[in-house]
């Protein structure tokens, strides 16, 4: 029986289970096209808000061991200016998911409606950025607010809505349950883990914003644990994210319960080849193990 690399997540057809994570190379139509050319099965844009935003003062990224701590502050050109990039990305050939953030549940709905008319295929709600005031994780730590954000977005658009969850809570499962109950089509787990870096010579925090979010290999096991816990509690698909740099990491997420995976920091660290390497590695491994597609391997770590 031959292996089929395609996956369906939240009604979106992916040629393979790899996706570009929000915030890395996702700010222009041309770079999104390059990511697709490199083999990604879907792309997520940088998070967009209603108004343009400059973001935090430098430095906004610090390298720590094999990971990154970033506090970009959600810099983006605002929704109106992004229309040009969406036109540029037209015919991209894979699902184009636009990440959005707002300062209230109604803002998410307004943004999704505008972007839906501008050509977005689906939305990922950023309710999980660990360092933005009055949005991101400030919204995403309260299940009732998450539910309201999802409800207002679902009322505004008929396209798939994915909710990106924060790991910076005691119980990520109740956030996933709230998202599902409010009508979300999928969840992404996880965004970055709240962190900071101090320069011991000066004794001062390195990042302009002091506090940021850790990404890359150091957070993989946290992400895998979150996906494993969520899988037991919800029926909607889970997209695994956090520290994936090779096919083994991706397979681990699938075995924990992820139907697809996102790659962020590894793109910056290793280049665009990572998509094809991971997609081909998943396919080679799963077919060798006798699986006919990714779906058959989702959640195998739960089997007794």
Ligand X SMILES: Cc1cc2nc3c(=O)[nH]c(=O)nc-3n(C[C@H](O)[C@H](O)[C@H](O)COP(=O)(O)O)c2cc1C
Q: Is 141 in the site for ligand X (CB under 6 A)?
A: no
Q: How distant is the alpha carbon of residue 139 from its chain centre? A: 16
Q: Is 46 in the site for ligand X (CB under 6 A)?
A: yes
Q: Is 114 in the site for ligand X (CB under 6 A)?
A: no
Residue 143 Ramachandran class (φ > 0 left, ψ -120 to 50 alpha, else beta): alpha
Q: Which residue is nearest to ligand X (CB)?
A: 23
Residue 11 DSSP code: T
CB of 82 to ligand X, least distance (A): 13
Q: Cβ atoms within 10 A of the Cβ of 259, count?
A: 25
Structure tokens at 103: 């300062």
Residues 50-69 within binding reach of ligand X (CB under 6 A): 61, 68
Q: Is 72 in the site for ligand X (CB under 6 A)?
A: yes
Residues 179-198 within binding reach of ligand X (CB under 6 A): 191-192
- Distance spanning both ends of the chain, measured CA to CA: 26
CB of 204 to ligand X, least distance (A): 21
Helix (H) or strand (E) holding 169: none
Is 43:94 a contact under the CB 8 Å cutoff?
yes
- Residue 241 annotated among the catalytic residues of the structure: no
Q: Is 243 in the site for ligand X (CB under 6 A)?
A: yes
CB of 56 to ligand X, least distance (A): 12
Q: The tokens 């309710």 sit on which residue?
A: 127
Among 17, 216, 240, 299, binds ligand X (CB under 6 A): 216
Q: How distant is the alpha carbon of residue 128 from its chain centre? A: 10
Among 265, 272, 293, 294, binds ligand X (CB under 6 A): 265
Cα distance between residue 165 and residue 225, in whole Å: 13
What SS3 state is found at 285? helix
Is 18:41 a contact under the CB 8 Å cutoff?
yes
For ligand X, the closer of residues 33 and 131 by Cβ is: 131
Angle subtended at Cα 115 by Cα 92 and Cα 89, rounded to the nearest 5 degrees: 20
CB of 216 to ligand X, least distance (A): 5
For ligand X, the closer of residues 86 and 293 by Cβ is: 86
Q: The tokens 């090779």 sit on which residue?
A: 246
Among 22, 165, 184, 282, binds ligand X (CB under 6 A): 22
For ligand X, the closer of residues 122 and 129 by Cβ is: 129
Q: Is 244 in the site for ligand X (CB under 6 A)?
A: yes
Among 21, 35, 189, 234, binds ligand X (CB under 6 A): 21
Residues with catalytic function: 129
Interface residues with ligand X (CB under 6 A)? Answer: 21-24, 46-47, 61, 68, 70, 72, 74, 99, 126, 129, 164, 191-192, 215-216, 219, 241-244, 263-266
């Amino acid at each position: 029986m031959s292996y089929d690399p395609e996956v369906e997540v939240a009604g979106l057809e992916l040629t393979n289970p790899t996706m570009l994570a929000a915030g890395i190379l996702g700010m222009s139509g041309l770079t999104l096209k390059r990511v697709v050319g490199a083999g990604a099965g879907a792309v997520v844009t940088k998070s967009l808000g209603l108004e343009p935003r400059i973001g935090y003062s430098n430095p906004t990224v610090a390298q720590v061991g094999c990971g990154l701590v970033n506090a970009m502050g959600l810099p983006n050109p605002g929704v109106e200016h992004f229309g040009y990039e969406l036109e540029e990305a037209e015919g991209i050939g894979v699902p184009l998911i636009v990440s959005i953030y707002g300062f209230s549940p109604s803002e998410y709905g307004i943004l999704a409606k505008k972007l839906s008319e501008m050509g977005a295929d689906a939305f990922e709600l950023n309710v999980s950025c660990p360092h933005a005031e009055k949005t991101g994780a400030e919204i995403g730590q309260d299940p009732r607010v998450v539910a309201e954000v999802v409800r207002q977005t679902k009322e505004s658009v008929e396209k798939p809505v994915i909710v990106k969850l924060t790991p910076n809570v005691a119980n990520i499962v109740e956030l996933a349950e709230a998202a599902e109950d409010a009508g979300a089509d999928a969840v992404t787990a996880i965004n970055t883990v709240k962190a900071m870096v101090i320069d011991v010579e000066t004794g001062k925090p390195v990042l302009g914003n002091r506090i940021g979010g850790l990404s890359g290999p150091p957070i993989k096991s946290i992400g895998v644990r979150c996906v494993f816990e969520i899988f037991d509690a919800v029926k909607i698909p889970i997209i695994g994210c956090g520290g994936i740099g090779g096919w083994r990491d991706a397979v681990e997420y699938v075995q924990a319960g992820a139907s697809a995976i996102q790659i962020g920091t590894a793109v910056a660290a290793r280049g665009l080849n990572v998509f094809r390497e991971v997609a081909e590695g998943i396919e080679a491994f799963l077919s060798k193990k006798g699986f006919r597609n990714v779906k058959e391997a989702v959640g195998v770590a739960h089997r007794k």
